[in-house]
Amino acid sequence: MERIGYFNGCIGELDTMQIPLCDRSVFYGDAVYDAVLVLDRKCFALEEHLQRLYNSCSMTQIAFAMPREQLEGEIQRLLDVTPLGEAMLYIQVTRGAAPRKHEFPVGAQPNLIMYTAPIHLPPKDKRASLASIEDLRFQYCNIKTTNLMPNVFAAQKATSLGATEALMHRGERVTEAAHSSILMVKDGTLVAPPLDELILPGITRAILVRLCEANGIPVITRVFTVEELMAADEILLCSTTKNVIRVFEIDGKAVAGKDAALAQRMQALFLAEIARETGVVL
């Protein structure tokens, strides 16, 4: 089996697994999730991903009571039957199953849904492009919920325009991409948008920032505009399924590519961290 599913302790072929029709994730997207890179059955940055998952549960008042050690054990059960190679582990916690009603159901127990599937990481020298799209999401973007329709629309529009990702902005302020963090390099400094309610705290972003700070690369956190991004020395897309890749085009215009040595050093630091934690060299 290449795509393996999990529901509340049961493991099987993903396409044959079933969940209750009245699960709140079906009616309302009332669930939170996280996604983890798996290399040769070893998770990368699992601690950080699980911390974000439990934080998301707390912020949405989903009473997920499974201790972290037990969840890690269930994850390992799933990974034990996962094919070797590059894979993604998807973890979703729903508020539970209950008759359809907007208010939180009394007594409903959260459901745990997981699956693993093969992925193909892009090469670090991929020439990524962006299509600028107004960010129309609600103001809980810092919570990793399954309410992703605006992200879906943005990703589809970017794809239809031939771009790698959507550059999402509120007015002139850059927020993030449809499913990636956006960072820029200017004058030898890594510039990251502030983590407020408009931006998801990306794990890849956090690790890259930490590695830069530990290796003498200046980092500042501030709001930046689309105009500033267009004039950046380098533009980076960061995510679990992309790692760290460089952007060379926005809305059909050539951008960045002015500090390749620093950008490639950041990529090398990140890949070295993956190798250190998983033992896999990408």
In tens, the pLDDT along 215-238 reads 999 999 999 999 999 999 999 999
Q: How far is CA 88 from the centre of its chain?
A: 11
Q: Which two tokens stand for residue 164?
A: 């790698």
DSSP-derived secondary structure letter, 122: P
pLDDT for res 83: 86
pTM score:
0.97
Please give the Cα distance from 157 to 149 (Å, whole number): 12
Which residue in the list 42, 101, 144, 253 is annotated as catalytic?
144
Cα–Cα nearest to 270, from 131, 115, 121, 116: 121
SS3 letters for 41-110? CEECCHHHHHHHHHHHHHHHCCCCCCCHHHHHHHHHHHHHCCCCCEEEEEEEEECCECCCCCCCCCCCCC
What is the pLDDT, as a whole number, of residue 2?
83
How far is the C-alpha of 65 from the C-alpha of 222, rounded, in Å?
Answer: 36
Q: Which residues of the chain have pLDDT under 50?
A: none
Beta strands 31-39 and 173-177: pairing type?
Answer: unpaired
144 as an active site residue: the answer is: yes
Which has the closest alpha carbon to 260: 114, 131, 127?
A: 127
| Spatial CA neighbour of 202 closest among 45, 77, 82 | 45
pLDDT at residue number 84:
81
In whole angstroms, what is the distance from residue 7 CA to residue 115 CA? 9
